[in-house]
A and B are shown apart, each in its own frame.
Chain A
Amino acid sequence: MLYREAGDFKTTYGEDSQTFPIRFDRMGYYVTLLVAFGVVPLVINDYWASAVFLPFLIYAIAAIGLNILVGYAGQVSLGTGGFMAVGAYAVYKLMTSFPDVPILIHVLLAGFVTAAVGVLFGLPSLRIKGFYLAVATLAAQFFLVWLFNKAPWFYNYSASGQITVPQSKMLGFYITGPQTSATAKYLFCLIILVGVAVVARNLTRGTVGRKWMAIRDMDIAAEIIGVNPLNAKLTAFAVSSFFIGIAGALFFAVYLGAAEVTEAFNIQKSFLILFMVIIGGLGSIFGSFAGAAFLVLLPVFLKNVLVGQLGWPTDLAAHLELMIVGALIVAFLIAEPHGIAQLWRLAKEKLRLWPFPH
Chain B
Amino acid sequence: MELRNITLRFGGVVAIKDISFDIRDGEIRAIIGPNGAGKSSMLNVISGFYIPTEGEVYFKKIKRGPMKPYEVARLGIARTFQNIALFDGMSVLDNIMTGRLTMMKSGLLSQAFWYGAAAREEFAHREKVERIIDFLEIQNIRKTPVGRLPYGLKKRVELARALAAEPKLLLLDEPMAGMNVEEKEDMSRFILDLNDEFSTTICLIEHDMGVVMDLSDRVVVMDYGRKIGDGTPDEVRNNQDVIDAYLGVAHD
A168 close to B (CB within 8 Å) = no
Alpha-carbon separation in the docked complex, A325 to B119 (Å): 41
In the complex, which residues 176-222 of chain A have their Cβ closer than 8 Å to any Cβ of chain B? 199, 202-203, 206-208, 210-211, 213-214, 216-218, 220-222
Flag whether A228 is at the interface (Cβ < 8 A): yes
Among the listed B70, B81, B104, B165, which residue makes an inter-chain contact with A207, where contact means beta carbons less than 8 Å apart?
B104
Task: Quote the shortest CB–CB distance from A210 to chain B (angstroms).
Answer: 5
Among B17-25, B108-116, B182-190, the stretch in contact with A:
B108-116
B130 nearest CB neighbor, chain A only = A13
Bound-complex Cα distance A202 to B70 (A): 24
B162 shortest CB reach to chain A, Å: 8
A202 touches B108 (CB 8 A): no
Residue A235, interface by CB 8 Å: yes
Quick one: given A206-B122, A227-B101, are A217 and B88 in contact (CB under 8 Å)? Answer: yes
B157 at the interface (CB under 8 A from A): no
Q: How far is the CA of A224 from the CA of B121 in the complex (A)?
A: 23
Q: Are B49 and A214 in contact (CB under 8 A)?
A: no
Interface flag for A87 (CB, 8 Å) = no
Asked if B70 contacts A227 (CB within 8 A), the reply is yes
Q: Are A208 and B111 in contact (CB under 8 A)?
A: yes
Chain A, interface residues (CB within 8 Å), range:
20 to 34
Selected from A208, A214, A220, A225, the residue in CB contact (under 8 A) with B165 is A225
Chain B interfacial residues counted at CB < 8 A:
41
Chain B residues contacting A239 (CB-CB under 8 Å) are 108
Instruction: Say which residue of B87, B113, B114, B119 sits within 8 Å of A221 (CB atoms).
Output: B87
Q: Smallest CB–CB gap between A295 and chain B, Å?
A: 24
Q: Nearest-CB distance from B238 to chain A (Å)?
A: 36
Contact A225 B108 (CB under 8 A): no
CB-defined contacts of A224 to chain B, threshold 8 Å: 47-49, 69-70, 72-73, 79, 85
Given contact pairs A202-B114, A226-B70, A17 touches B122 in the complex (Cβ within 8 A): yes
Contact: B118 with A206, CB < 8 Å? yes
Q: Shortest distance in angstroms between B79's beta carbon and chain A's nearest beta carbon?
A: 6
Cα separation A228 to B70 with both chains bound (whole Å)? 6
| Complex CA–CA separation, A133 to B33 (angstroms) | 40
CB of B98 within 8 A of CB of A214, answer: yes
> Least Cβ distance of A252 to chain B in Å?
25
Main secondary structure of the interface of A (DSSP, over half): helix
Any B CB within 8 A of the CB of A257:
no
Instruction: Check A299 for interface membership: any CB of B closer than 8 A.
Output: no
Q: B69 — which chain A residues lie within 8 A by C-beta?
A: 223-224
A213 touches B111 (CB 8 A): no
A283 to B88, CA, bound (A): 13
State A217–B102 Cα separation when bound (angstroms): 18
Is B10 an interface residue, CB under 8 A from the partner? Answer: no
Given known A-B contacts A207-B111, A221-B85, A14 and B101 have beta carbons under 8 A apart: no
Chain B residue nearest to A202 (CB atoms) is B114
**Further 6 A-B residue pairs, CB within 8 A, beyond A207-B106, A223-B69:** A199-B113, A203-B112, A206-B122, A210-B94, A220-B49, A226-B165
Pull 30 A–B residue pairs with CB atoms less than 8 Å apart, ordered by A. Answer: A12-B123, A202-B111, A203-B112, A206-B118, A207-B111, A207-B118, A210-B97, A210-B101, A211-B98, A216-B87, A217-B88, A217-B90, A218-B87, A218-B88, A221-B81, A221-B86, A221-B87, A223-B70, A224-B73, A225-B98, A225-B102, A225-B161, A225-B165, A226-B73, A226-B74, A226-B102, A227-B98, A228-B68, A239-B108, A283-B89
Residues on B lying within 8 angstroms of A by beta carbon are 47-49, 68-70, 72-74, 78-79, 81, 85-90, 94, 97-99, 101-102, 104, 106, 108, 111-114, 118-119, 121-123, 126-127, 161-162, 165
Give 10 closest A-B pairs by Cβ, nearest first.
A226-B73, A221-B85, A217-B87, A226-B102, A202-B114, A13-B123, A223-B69, A199-B112, A206-B111, A224-B69
